[in-house]
Amino acid sequence: MAGIKTVLITGGSSGIGYAVSEYFAKAGYRILWASWLEKELQEAKSRLSNSHKEAEIHTLAIDLSKEESCQKVLDWTHENGWSVNVLINNAGFGTYGFLQDTDMDKEIAMINLHILSTYKLTRLFLSEMIKRDEGTIINIASNSSFQPTPKLNTYASTKAFVNHFTRGLHEELKMSGSKVKAICVCPAAIRDTAFRKGEKLDKVKAFDGLATTTAGEVAKNIWNGFQEGKAFI
């Protein structure tokens, strides 16, 4: 299909990533998912294909916390001749507890995923978007990114990076006169995703509070904000 637009979503096979994929599929975008679990990718692809018969969906099973993974994602798009119009850095997970009690290797993997992967994929695809003077990068931060969050300390700190990095990039693009857009998304705790099933996160009261949201609500806000040209959601 000539002229089809393409969205690349990390962690697209579940949660916010899957929910927002439905909006892009309905709008006729080619869907690219880079996620960790092959089985989850195939199950999600089947589900989205059933609800959007015309959708073109491609998947790459990859651990984005690994150093070489972001370049592999870029290479995957090049090998298939896909030009990415929208990049959504969404993949993530959380840890919970006092810092000295958390699994250091798991937290380092989370830092690599939330910070380094978001940074690298943004840099890699931004270069191509700037050359075309077209494209949008949407980075998923969190409402926990605005203040220190005890027992979610490392998670919140990684999301603070995403928040500052994306909003700073938005200003840089405006200053340089580029038509490329950067959008920062800071959702509240999401009560209906697998994210909550992470290490002890099922015990976190924030997921049961009045200020919680759903993946579907966040996806709707992302789509509407994207359509309206917002910089912060």
Q: Which residues are catalytic?
A: 155
Cα separation, 107 vs 198, in Å, equals: 12
- With beta carbons less than 8 A apart as the criterion, state whether 33 and 59 touch: yes
Which residue, among 54, 29, 58, has the nearest Cα to 44 in the 3D structure? 58
Cα separation, 94 vs 70, in Å, equals: 20
Please, what sign has the CA dihedral across residues 91, 87, 29, 75?
negative
Which helix or strand (DSSP H or E) is residue 105 part of? Answer: helix 104-111
Q: Which residue has the tokens 């950067």?
A: 182
Cα separation, 29 vs 6, in Å, equals: 5
The tokens describing 164, both together, are: 């500052």
